[in-house]
Amino acid sequence: MKLNKQVNKMTGETLLSGVHSSGLGIYIIPKKDYSSSYAIFGTRYGSVDSKFIVPGESEVTEVPDGIAHYLEHKMFDQPDGSNVFDKFSKYGGNANAFTSFNQTAYLFSATANIKENLAALLDYVQSPYFTPESVQKEQGIIGQEIRMYDDNGGWQVFFDFLSCLYHNNPVKKEIAGTVESISHITAELLYKCYNTFYNLSNMAIVVVGNVDPDEILATIEAGIKKNEPFEEEIKKIYPDEPETIAVPYMEKNLSVAQPLFMLGFKDNDTGYGGERLLKKSIEMSILLKMLFGKSSPVYKKLYEEGLISASFAPDYTMQPSYAFSSIEGESRDPKRVYEIILNEIERVRRDGLDEDAFNRIKKVVWGNYIRTQNDVEEYATTFMQLKFMDIDYFDYYDVYKTVTFEDVKKRFDAHFRKELSALSVVNPV
């Protein structure tokens, strides 16, 4: 196959991309003079995708919570009993994998033997091997992992925050599921999910680093096993979600040094991807830095009153099916932090946003985009995450330059509403 060449005129970066006859999306970003390379092989399948209709079928399939994460674990079992990590170690590769709300990904980084590591990655992700015995054994291992997170303050404050925002959306459920839910996972269900979501037409591979694109493409083509692409998309089914939040406040006690908090706002402007979603994310990045960044008045007030530490961090999380802003940190008085932030939002609503701050912060956001391209791991991971939302990372500047002060003002008015806000706190025992 022949890849299309795209050059980003603003950054000088080159992207070679195409869709293989199997349906696999292939994206190669060569970076000369870099010492390391990074490859990520992912599928549009995460913890929220527990109810779906397989292309060609009419019946709805519903599987236990946590099965996407469980499947990721089981992919490291090989039919010949070999250890996947030994293969990567042989070629100097550092391999790993992760499951998030909306994707599962397998990856490696290496400074040499890129072709050999890439061939190993393609091989094991396309070689599922599940037996009733091995599936049952894994339940104990993952059960221990789930129980470990029960005592993790940062994990608990995050999922309590999501439970405050959402009534029904499965994003509120823990990625690994529960000890009860994983007890219902079988080898047959794992194969069903694998054959559905690991169809290459639902997957993509991104390679970033000091590589020869022709060699990488040849390695990928040679490593693709027979796969019939779906002629239609997998239909994912999510429950209806009210626009209101579920509850405004949640707290629990754990062994933490001082109270942890996460507060934020539910975003009901959802149901789309592509450039429109990218533009919204840029608007929100600018707003969060204007309102709560280290140069903002509210940050200075909170810091001078000793209410926050360096862990104070605003963020925006988006997907076509859900989105929310959040601020996390440590504080001796999380409720006071929440009160000050809500008061600041009302002040800005009354007095208006600062256009000079907008112009300054917009440049900062562009600089952050440029910096991500210096880290091959962050570059490849972000590129894939956005691609799965139908966003072309190379189009960033074309969308970025359309963002105006008026756009940001409208986004502020729509998003930062007290009735859509919530606070989650984990207090010391």
Active-site residue set:
72
Helical H segments across 224-354, by residue range: 274-292, 297-304, 334-351
Comparing CA positions, the residue from 326, 231, 196, 165 lying closest to residue 22 is 231
Whole-angstrom distance, CA of residue 353 vs CA of residue 356: 9
Contact 190, 5 (CB under 8 A): no
Contact 161, 326 (CB under 8 A): yes
Whole-angstrom distance, CA of residue 348 vs CA of residue 316: 19
189 Ramachandran zone, left/alpha/beta (phi>0; psi -120 to 50): alpha
Whose tokens are 């707290």? That residue is: 251
Dihedral sign from CA coordinates of 301, 303, 307, 309: positive
Residue 277 CB contacts under 8 Å (≥ 6 apart), including other chains? 318, 320, 389, 390, 391
Contact 252, 426 (CB under 8 A): yes
Q: Are strands 25-30 and 203-209 parallel, antiparallel or unpaired?
A: parallel
DSSP 8-class letter at 237: -
Instruction: Count Cβ atoms below 10 Å from residue 73 Cβ, excluding itself.
Output: 15
Instruction: Count Cβ atoms below 10 Å from residue 188 Cβ, excluding itself.
Output: 11
Comparing CA positions, the residue from 428, 381, 343 lying closest to residue 156 is 428
Task: Please tell me the total number of residues recorded for the chain in this structure.
Answer: 429
Comparing CA positions, the residue from 22, 387, 18 lying closest to residue 222 is 22
What tokens were used for 111? Answer: 């400074």
Contact 58, 178 (CB under 8 A): no
Contact 330, 260 (CB under 8 A): yes
Rg of the chain in Å (alpha carbons): 23
Residue 110 CB contacts under 8 Å (≥ 6 apart), including other chains? 36, 37, 88, 91, 92, 93, 94, 117
